[in-house]
Structure 1
Amino acid sequence: MAEVSEKVELFSDEKRGRGVRATTFIEPETVLLVENPYILTLEEDYRRNRCNYCCKEREKLRACGGCNFVYYCDRQCQASNYSDHQYECKYLKSSGPECDIWIRTRTLLMALQKHLKMQKKRSRNVPTHNAQGFPLTPEVLYMKKYAPPSDEIPSPMPDMDRLWEFVKAKDLPITKDLFKKFQGILNANMFSVEDSHARCKIIGEGLYTRVAMFNHNCHPNCVFISNGREISVTSIRPISPGEECTISYLKVMAPTEARQRKLKKWYDFDCDCKRCVQDIEEDRLMYAIKCPQMNCRGSVLPWKPSNILNGRYLACDACHFDINETEVPDNIRQTEMEVEGFLSRKKNYDYQGQLLEECGPVLARLDAVYQPYHWRVYQVVKKAFKVALKLDQAETALLYGIRCQVALRNHLEVCVTLLGTNLWEVGQLQAQLGMNLEAVRTLREALPIMEIAYSGQHAVNVQAQALLATLTSTVKDALATPDNSHKGVYTQGSNVEEE
C-alpha cells in the first residue's frame, strides 16, 4: 500500500521527463510518500536469517515448504508473501536450496509473472495510475515520459522454463520483448532495502513503482529512507509551489566527474543540475592538496577539476606558491593511480582484516599529499570505517568515523544527511567504549539532522532518543562544560586538524 501526499503531483516535460513537483509550499520534515515494494528480494547473505516478507532478523525461522529456499517468521508472514513468492517457488525448488541465483533475476521472475497474471484479470477500463498520476503497476515505469495508459496489446507469455534455464546458464539467449522491458525497469527503478536498526546495512532490493517517479539531483531537496520493506520520501529543505521534488540516486560526497560517470553507467543519463554545471569551487575543494612549502598551511586547488590528472593548479591560497613547474603534479598522478587501484580491489582479499590493514599505509600516502577533506581521503577512511564496524573493532572504527566528519563538515551543505548518519554511528561507538560525555554531545548534534531525514517514529530515531536519554542521566554535571571539540572543523582552504 502506498500513501502519496496531496502536496505533490506527477508532471512531465521535454527536458526532465516524468517527475514529482510540489502543489503547495512544503516545509522540511514533510513526508511526501510512504510505499511498500511491488517486489522485494533479500540478498543471499540474509535470506536464511531474515524473514522473506517483513525482513526482520530472527533466531528461528521456518523454511517455505515448497522450495526450502526462503524463510519466514510464521505462517502469517508466509501467507502475506504468497502473492509474490508463488511466482518463483517452483523454479527455486527445481534447483534446490543452495542454487546460485542473482537477486535481480529472482526479482525479474516474480515481476514478470505477477504482471502477466494481473494483465489477464485486468480489463482495459481499469486505471493504471492514481489521481495524481503515480503508477499503480510497474510496466509503465519503462516509458521515458509520463503518458496515460495505452491500448497496446500485452506481450505474449514468455516461456518461463526457458527463462529459468537462462537464470542457471547465464548465457542462454532470451529475445522476448517483455523480458528486456522488465530488465530495463529493474535496472532503473530498484532501491536498496536496509536494516532499520542502528548501523544500517543493505539487506536486499525492492521495486518501488512510486518512489521511482522522483528524479535525481546532486543537491536534492528530499531524501528516501528505508525502514525494513517500507520506503518513505521526506523533504529536507523548504520546497516552493511548482518546484520539483528530487532525491539523489547516489552518495553525494563525490566530485562532479565521479558522480556523472556513475549516473551514466548505472542510469544512462547526464545530470545537468546546478551543482553539476556551476559549482566548480566545491569540486576544487574536493581535490584540495597540501601546499608543499615548509610551514605553509595553505591549499592548492586544481584549475579544472574534471582534468585532475593532466591539468594545471592554481597558486597556493596562503603563500601563492606555484606547483605547476615542480614534481608535485607527477606525485599527485602517482597517488591517484595507487588509491584507484586500492579502491578497485573490493573482493580480492583473503579476509576483511587484510583490507583494514592496507588502509593504514594508503592513508599515510594520501595524508602526505592531500588535505584531510579531499574526497579520496574520505573514500579510504569511509571504507576503513565500514570494515572496522563489521569486524566489531570499536576503537578503530571510532577513529575512522571521526575522520570521516572532516570531509562531511567541509562539504556540509550537500552532505548534511550523511553527517547525521555518521554522528549517530560515532555516538554509539563512544557509548560502547564508555565515553558517555562525548557520546551525549555527538548524539545531540546528530538527532536534529536525523529527525529531518528519518521521518516519524523510525527505528533509528527511537533508538537514538532512548540512548541519548540514558546517557544524559549519567553525565548531567559534565554537560555544563562548553564543548569546543568542533572548533575550526568548518574552515575551508587550509589544513584542518584531525579530531
Structure 2
Amino acid sequence: MIPSSILNQNNRTNELIKLYKENYYNSKGIELRTSNNSDKDLGVFSTRKFKKGEEILSNIEPYVHSVPQHNIVCDYCLKNKNNENLNTTISLKRCTGCKLIYYCSIDCQKKAWPIHKHECKILLAAAQESLQINKPINTKSTVMLLRIFIKRMLEIQNSNHIDKTGQFEIIDYLLNHKEERVNDNYKSFSMGICQQLNEDPSKAPIVLEYLLKLEPNCITIPKCEASTIGLYPLMVFFNHSCKPNLSILNNKKELKIICNRDINENEELFINYSPSICYSNERREMLKQCFFFDCKCELCLKDELEKSMDLYILCNKCNKGRVNIWYDENKNRIVKCLNCSSDHNADEILKKNLITTKLQKCLDQFINQNSELNIDEFKLLLNQYCKQFYYTDPLFYEIVNKTDLFFQDFNKEIETNQMKHYHQRYQALLKHHFLDTQNLQYEYCRQLVDYSNILIQIGYFKEALGILKLLNKTLSKINYYGFNQEYLISMENELSFNIDANYYQHQ
C-alpha cells in the first residue's frame, strides 16, 4: 500500500507549473509561477482582472481529510451534531467495524465505504494496540496517511498506474521541511504505520516523507469542528498574507475561493493561514512554527518596522484611544495613545497589561486541565480588563469563544448590564478586525451568522434581529455570495414577526 518511492525533486518547479496549467488553471484566469518573494517559491497569479466577489476556483474537494473528534462529526459529509440548524437534531452512528468513525446516514457510510473498507480493520487494530500500551492513538495523522496510501493504491489499480488527476503527483512534489522538523517521535510514528500495514520497515522513511508533507500543507476546514483538516492539492500553492485578497468559502469539505477586493492582472493571489484575530507576535510565531516562514506581508512588515509591543491599554486621558509601546528608528521607546497622542508612563502601562497574563492563566487552567472556572475570580478579572483595555484587544475574542461567555452559566452569574456591555464589545471587536483592518467581508458575515445563532439560543431576540438586519444589509452589497440568502432573510422575518406578536419574552 505504501509507495515504493517518492518523486525526484529535480526540476520540481517546471513540472508543477506544467501540471497545473494542463490540468487545472488554464481556463480560470490564474497560473502557477515563481513567487515574487523567492525564485525557489511558487505562487498563484492572476492572468486577467477580477472583480470583488468573483469566483477564482469552486467545487474544490480535499484529496483526503480527517476530523479530530469522531463522535461529533460525520466523517464523510462533516455535519456536526452540535452546530447544525437549531431546529434539526443529527444522530451519528458508529461504524461497527473500527468503532472509531461515525456517519450521519447510511448514504454517507456507503459513499465512504470504497476508502473505509481498506482502513477499517487497520484503525481497529491501532485502537486496540493503543489500549494495550495505554497510549492514545494519533487518529488524525493516522487516518490522513492511511487515506493517502489507500487512495493512491486505488488510483493505480483503476488507471493502469497513471494518475489522471495529477493530485497525488502534486502531493509528491510538496516540500516537507524535514531539516526543521524531524525527531524521534516522527520516526517512531512512521515505523508504527509500517507495522500496522504489515509493510517492510524499510518503507518507514517514505511514510516519514508523507507525514512531514501533511502538516504544513493541510488547511483547517472553515466552519467545521475545530482542527478538521483537509489536504487540498489545488490550494497548496496559494501563499499567505495576513491581509489577503482572497477569501475561502465552504459547504462542509467543498471549498470555493473568491476575491474579497478588485484584483489586477499579474497580481499574486493570497489566502490567510493564520487566525484573523490574534496578537501580531502570536500570528508571526504561529506562521513560523507551523509553516516555516517569516511573514513579510503588509501588516507584518509594518509591525516589524515599528517594533511594536502590540499592547491594547485604554487611554485614561481621552478614554477612547489605544495606548501602545513601540520603538523608533533610533531605538527610543515611545508610549503614546494612538488617538490623542498623549504620552504615558511605560511602567504603569506594563503593570496594567499584567491583567491579561492572569486572565490567560485562568483560561489555560479551564481549557487544558478541564478544571472548573472560578467564576468570582474570573468575573473580577474580566471586569477590570474591560475597564482598562481597548475594545480591539484580541484576548476578548479568545475569552468569548473558549469559555462560552454568552451562554447560560455566565448569564446567571454576570449582571445583565455588564453582559450587554460584553456583547457590544464583541460586536465592535469583530467589525474592527474583520472589516476595518483586513477588509474580510465574507469572514465578517460568517462570524455574524454564528453570533446571531448564539443570541437566539440565549434569548436575546431583539439583539439577534439587529444582527440579522446588519448581516443581510452587508451581504446585499456582495450578492450573498456563498451564503443562503433565503434562509437568512426568513430568519430575520420570523424573528421580527414573533417579536412584534410578543411570542418571545426578550431582554
Aligned mates of 1:256, 1:400 — CA distance in 2: 23
1:108 aligns with 2:145: yes
* Structure 2 CA distance for partners of 1:24 and 1:389, relative to 1, 3 Å: farther
| Partner in structure 2 of residue 374 of structure 1 | 393
Aligned mates of 2:367, 2:202 — CA distance in 1: 30
1:221 aligns with 2:245: yes
| Partner in structure 2 of residue 151 of structure 1 | none
Higher helix content, 1 or 2? 2
Q: Deviations over 1:249-305 (max 9, x none)?
A: 111223432211010011111111111113679996952323345x76554331249
Aligned mates of 1:116, 1:355 — CA distance in 2: 53
1:142 aligns with 2:174: yes
- Give the AA of the match of 1:101: I
Is this contact kept in 1: 2:176–2:209, CA < 8 A? no
- Counterpart of 2:115 (choices 84, 88, 106) is 84
Instruction: Give percent identity, aligned residues only.
Output: 20
Q: Deviations over 1:443-463 (max 9, x none)?
A: 12223555789975645x553
| Partner in structure 2 of residue 252 of structure 1 | 276
Aligned mates of 1:333, 1:278 — CA distance in 2: 22
| Partner in structure 1 of residue 193 of structure 2 | 163
| Partner in structure 2 of residue 67 of structure 1 | 98
| Partner in structure 2 of residue 9 of structure 1 | 31
Aligned mates of 1:319, 1:276 — CA distance in 2: 23
| Partner in structure 2 of residue 361 of structure 1 | 380
SS of 1:110's equivalent in the other structure is helix
Aligned mates of 1:381, 1:251 — CA distance in 2: 15
Aligned mates of 1:192, 1:159 — CA distance in 2: 22
Residue 311 (structure 1) shift: 5.3
SS of 1:271's equivalent in the other structure is coil
Aligned mates of 2:48, 2:76 — CA distance in 1: 36
* Structure 2 CA distance for partners of 1:314 and 1:52, relative to 1, 3 Å: closer
| Partner in structure 2 of residue 301 of structure 1 | 324
Q: Deviations over 1:39-73 (max 9, x none)?
A: 122222xx235432122347555543532332334
Aligned mates of 1:14, 1:319 — CA distance in 2: 37
Aligned mates of 1:378, 1:60 — CA distance in 2: 31
Aligned mates of 2:49, 2:268 — CA distance in 1: 12
Is this contact kept in 1: 2:306–2:328, CA < 8 A? no
Gap runs ≥5 in structure 2: 1-22, 82-88, 178-187, 502-507
TM-score by length of 1: 0.73
| Partner in structure 2 of residue 489 of structure 1 | none
TM-score by length of 2: 0.72
* Structure 2 CA distance for partners of 1:404 and 1:259, relative to 1, 3 Å: same
Is this contact kept in 2: 1:189–1:212, CA < 8 A? yes
- Counterpart of 2:45 (choices 13, 18, 21) is 21
Larger mean CA deviation between 28-37 and 89-98 belongs to: 89-98
Aligned mates of 2:411, 2:121 — CA distance in 1: 43
SS of 1:213's equivalent in the other structure is coil
Aligned mates of 2:465, 2:337 — CA distance in 1: 42
Is this contact kept in 1: 2:239–2:270, CA < 8 A? yes
Count of aligned positions: 441
| Partner in structure 2 of residue 41 of structure 1 | 66
Aligned mates of 2:110, 2:43 — CA distance in 1: 35
Larger mean CA deviation between 310-319 and 176-185 belongs to: 310-319
1:406 aligns with 2:406: no
Is this contact kept in 2: 1:40–1:107, CA < 8 A? yes
- Counterpart of 1:337 (choices 323, 346, 357) is 357
SS of 1:211's equivalent in the other structure is coil
- Counterpart of 1:445 (choices 463, 470, 480) is 470
Is this contact kept in 1: 2:73–2:102, CA < 8 A? yes
| Partner in structure 1 of residue 489 of structure 2 | 465
Q: Deviations over 1:233-252 (max 9, x none)?
A: 22211111111221101112
Aligned mates of 1:162, 1:300 — CA distance in 2: 52
- Give the AA of the match of 2:447: N
- Give the AA of the match of 1:48: N
| Partner in structure 2 of residue 491 of structure 1 | none
Residue 404 (structure 1) shift: 1.7
Aligned mates of 1:390, 1:212 — CA distance in 2: 41
Aligned mates of 2:97, 2:468 — CA distance in 1: 47
Is this contact kept in 1: 2:359–2:378, CA < 8 A? no
* Structure 2 CA distance for partners of 1:166 and 1:457, relative to 1, 3 Å: same
- Give the AA of the match of 1:419: Y
- Give the AA of the match of 1:110: R
Aligned mates of 1:159, 1:354 — CA distance in 2: 36
Residue 410 (structure 1) shift: 3.5
- Give the AA of the match of 2:71: R
Counterparts of 1:381-396 in structure 2 under 5 Å?
381-384=400-403, 386=404, 388-389=406-407
| Partner in structure 1 of residue 12 of structure 2 | none
